[in-house]
Structure 1
Amino acid sequence: MFELILGLPLLGGMVVMGSGWGISGVMLAVHAVTLLLSLQHRQSFYGSAAGIATCLLVSVPVAGMFGHWVTAVLLLVSMVDRYGAGVSGGFRRF
C-alpha cells in the first residue's frame, strides 16, 4: 500500500522530498530484509527485488514513480499468490 502512495505524482514526491530522501532509505532496508526472509523461506522474492531497484532509481522522478507502481503490483501479485484472493481456500490449481 505504501508503494502506491509513493507512486502518486504529487503526494509521493512530497513524502520523499519532505523526508529528505530518508524514506527511500527506510524502504530500501525494509525491502532488503523482506528479500532475505523470502529467500530464506523459499517464497517469491520478485516484489522485494523490484522494491530495491525502485529505491535505487527513485532519484529519477518519472522512473521512480513508475517503479513504485510496478513494485506495488508485484507485491500485490506475490501476496495473492501466497495467501489467495481472500476467499476460503484460496486459488485452486489444476
Structure 2
Amino acid sequence: MFELILGLPLLGGMVVMGSGWGISAVMFALHAVTLLMSLQHRQSFYGSAAGIVTCLLFSVPVWGMFGHWITAALLLVSMVDRYGAGMPGSFRRS
C-alpha cells in the first residue's frame, strides 16, 4: 500500500519532497478515480474519500503522516470489508 509508505516518517517525507509534491497530485487523482468507481458500483468509498482529504489538507509533515496512516487503515478496512480476509472458509459478501 503506497498510502502507508507515504505515512512513514522519513521515507514518506523524502518521497513527497523529492517529487516536488507531484506524488500528492498523483495520489489525489487515483483516489478521485477510485471514489467515482466506488460510488458507481455502490461499494464502500470512505477510504478513497479519506485519501482525498489527506491529499488536500494534510500538507504539514507530522499531520500528513497521521493522515496517511488513517487513510491506509481505512483503505485496508474497506478492502477486507469487500473481499474478506482472504483466508479459506472466510465469510465473503456478494
Q: TM-score, normalised by structure 1?
A: 0.93
Q: Is the 8 A contact 1:6 1:15 kept in 2?
A: yes
**C-alpha separation in 1, matches of 2:92 and 2:77:** 16
Instruction: Note the 1:61-72 alignment, pairs <5 A.
Output: 61-72=61-72
Q: State the alpha-carbon separation in 2 of the partners of residues 46 and 5 from structure 1.
A: 19
CA distance in 1, matches of 2:29, 2:10: 24
1:91 positional shift: 2.3
Runs of 4+ in 1 over 2 A off after TM superposition: 88-93
1:36 aligns with 2:36: yes
5+ residue gaps, structure 2: none
CA contact (8 A) 1:83 1:90 kept: no
Alignment of 1:55-66 (within 5 A): 55-66=55-66
Read off the aligned partner of 2:3 and give its amino acid letter. Answer: E
Mapping 1:11-50, distance limit 5 Å: 11-50=11-50
- Describe the superposition over 1:31-56 as per-residue Cα deviations: whole angstroms up to 9, x where unpaired: 00000000000000000000000001
Does the 8 Å contact 1:24/1:58 carry over to 2? no
Percent identity over the alignment? 87
Q: Distance in 2 between matches of 1:91 and 1:48?
A: 24
Please give the alpha-carbon distance, in whole angstroms, between the structure 2 residues aligned to 1:30 and 1:86.
Answer: 24
